[in-house]
Structures are given as structure tokens and as C-alpha cells.
Chains A and B, each alone.
Chain A
Amino acid sequence: MGLIARALEAAGIATVCLSSARSITESVGVPRAVYLDYPLGQTAGRAHDFAEQASVLESACRGFEDIRQPGSIVDLKLQWSADDDWKDVVMRPSPPHDGKTLPTEHQRLAGDQRTARHATPQYQHPADADAADPECTSCVFLAPDEQASS
């Protein structure tokens, strides 16, 4: 997303990029960023917490207004859990799981969580596949090689 922020800025559109991965935001070089120190998957605030989501957006608005130094990252003062233990396990080798009980949050976050990279559309619900319009005009499919060479 940082590359898109940079392209927009270069085209004259000011950006604020939310982030929950500070090192990646620093590395890509994002012009204005607002950092939420949460596990990946809720960059705009906790599920079903409208007040928190609104406060994250208000911080983004202030980012537009207040950031003067390119590359600034504003750190939000929100903490995911009192002990921050989730930070020990994300993308670290998984703890063993017996396969019978529900996985704990730690077992859910640890290890290589990536699923197989299928080349066909991956629907959340089977009913979405039935409802999908193959002529979908709001779906924009870009042809990488044609575009890159034109």
C-alpha cells in the first residue's frame, strides 16, 4: 500500500496511510502514516467498536492537518491487550495444538498462517460464488503484461 501512497502523492493527491506494521511502513517510505499497534486484521480499529474506529479516522484526519515532515508516523495510544503477549507469537513457529479443542488466540496467530495461493476466486461464502456476476462492471481486472509493455 505504501507504493500506492507514493504514486498518489506524486500525482498531487495527499495521503494518510494507516498501518499496523510499523517496520514495513518505515521501509516502503510512506509520506504520512498513522500506526495502530494491533495484530494484523483490524487496521481501522476493533470489530464492532464504532467509537474506536471513529477515533482512528479522526487521528487520520489530524494526520492530514498536522504532519509537516514527510515520512512521519503518528503512534496511536491504543493497546490491544494489557500484556501485549500476542507479540511473542505472531509469525513465530506454532505451539502444538491437539486438534480437538478450539485453538487459543496464540495458536491462531503463530506460525505460517498463509493459506494455499489458489488462482481461482476465493469466496467467503459459497452463496457469494453463485451470486457473483461474471460481467461485474465494478470489478476491474488489469492485464499485468499488456499494461506493463504498453
Chain B
Amino acid sequence: MAPRPPVDYIERTKSLYSSLGHRPYAWVSNTGDYPWQPIRKALGASKLGVVASGGIYRHGQVAFHHKDDVSYRRIPVNTPIAELRTTHFAYDLSAARKDPNAVLPLDALNNLVASARIRALASNALTFMGGIYSSRKVRDVLAPAIVAEMQKEAVDLALLIPV
């Protein structure tokens, strides 16, 4: 059967939350204006950083709390998948808990290096818990910290994996 159009999550959250008596969430809107960094090197010569927002932590780390947590975790990219955990208040965690690669694909990322598709990965993936309702906190606090981490790792490119 032919695929149907994508789910419009903005429309659905607006109508579902207002049916529950909540104020509609004000989604960020930047349409038509994009910061843009062209690619400088071939991928095979590039170092890739990874950021994932699925509430992923490693056994031994402090988990995220569910109230606009703007903290993040450094997850070494050689962490065994069995040591990854997920916590989140707003998405169905069943796939991520069966196989954390569904939200932080460390196995396939390491394979990009093994197959020489990219030169290297940043030593740590950075993870946080999305669904932060304050876009100001993301813009003013979390984003600059992630940029600083990526600059410290001297990455050329960054792959972002929201949920």
C-alpha cells in the first residue's frame, strides 16, 4: 500500500493537549532562515560527533529527571550496548529498551569507522533528554555547551538523533 502523509505532530499535540485543558505548546518557528556550514572535507577524512536526545544514559551514570532537565551525559562510543539505558516522559520506550541502537546506533556508527566511510568518531556521544519545554534553556544553556564539547573534540561534522 502506498505510504500515507507524515503525522503532523504539531497539529496533534495542539489538539490533544488543548482537549486535556493544557495551554498549546508554542513550537519554535524559523522557517526560511538557516545557518549553514558547507562541508569542508570528504567524509572519509572527517571526524563525526553524535548528539542524541532520547534520554540515554549509561549504567553507572545519574539518570535524567523529567522536569526540563538540561543536563547531558558523555557516552564513550565504545560503550557496550548492554550498558545503555533510556528514560523519557514522552515517547514509547519499548524499542529503545529492547535495543538502544534504535535511538543511539553505536554499533552502526562504529561500523562507519571500520568501513572507512568516515575517519573517526568523537570519543564521546552526547546525550540529553528532549522534550525540554523551554526553548530559551535549549538555546541559551544546552546548545552552547554542546557546541563547546564538539569544538573540544575538533569534529568536522555532527549527526543529531532526536526522538
Which of A3, A90, A128 is close to B135, meaning CB atoms less than 8 Å apart? A3
- Interface contact B34-A90, CB-CB below 8 Å: no
Cα-based distance from A134 to B62 in the complex (angstroms): 7
- Interface contact A31-B34, CB-CB below 8 Å: yes
- Interface contact B39-A65, CB-CB below 8 Å: yes
A147 within 8 A of partner (CB): yes
**A binding-site residues for B, Cβ under 8 Å:** 1-24, 26-31, 35, 37, 39-48, 50, 53-54, 56-58, 60-61, 64-65, 70-71, 79, 82-84, 87, 90-93, 108-109, 111-125, 128-129, 131-134, 136, 138-142, 144, 147-148
22 contacts between A and B (CB under 8 A): A6-B30, A7-B35, A7-B146, A21-B6, A27-B28, A31-B37, A40-B163, A42-B102, A43-B162, A44-B104, A47-B98, A50-B101, A61-B117, A64-B39, A64-B43, A92-B12, A93-B19, A112-B16, A119-B66, A124-B63, A132-B63, A133-B60
- Interface contact B53-A65, CB-CB below 8 Å: no
Cα-based distance from A91 to B25 in the complex (angstroms): 14
B86 to chain A, nearest CB (A): 6
Residue interface mask B114-129, A partner, CB < 8 A = 1: 0001100000100000
B10 within 8 A of partner (CB): yes
Residue interface mask B17-36, A partner, CB < 8 A = 1: 10110000001111111111
B77 within 8 A of partner (CB): no
- Interface contact B124-A53, CB-CB below 8 Å: no
- A1-B162, A70-B34, A112-B16 known; A136 vs B61 contact (CB < 8 Å): yes
Given contacts A50-B101, A138-B58, 16 further A-B pairs with CB under 8 A are A2-B30, A3-B28, A4-B138, A7-B144, A13-B156, A26-B31, A29-B30, A37-B3, A41-B54, A43-B102, A54-B105, A84-B1, A112-B16, A115-B90, A117-B68, A128-B63
A130 to chain B, nearest CB (A): 10
B35 to chain A, nearest CB (A): 4
B110 to chain A, nearest CB (A): 10
- Interface contact A90-B71, CB-CB below 8 Å: no
Closest to A3 in B: B138
- A3-B139, A113-B91 known; A43 vs B161 contact (CB < 8 Å): yes
- A46-B102, A90-B12 known; A13 vs B160 contact (CB < 8 Å): no
Cα-based distance from A10 to B37 in the complex (angstroms): 7
- Interface contact A11-B151, CB-CB below 8 Å: yes
Cα-based distance from A50 to B8 in the complex (angstroms): 28
Closest to A77 in B: B3
- A92-B16, A142-B71 known; A29 vs B34 contact (CB < 8 Å): yes
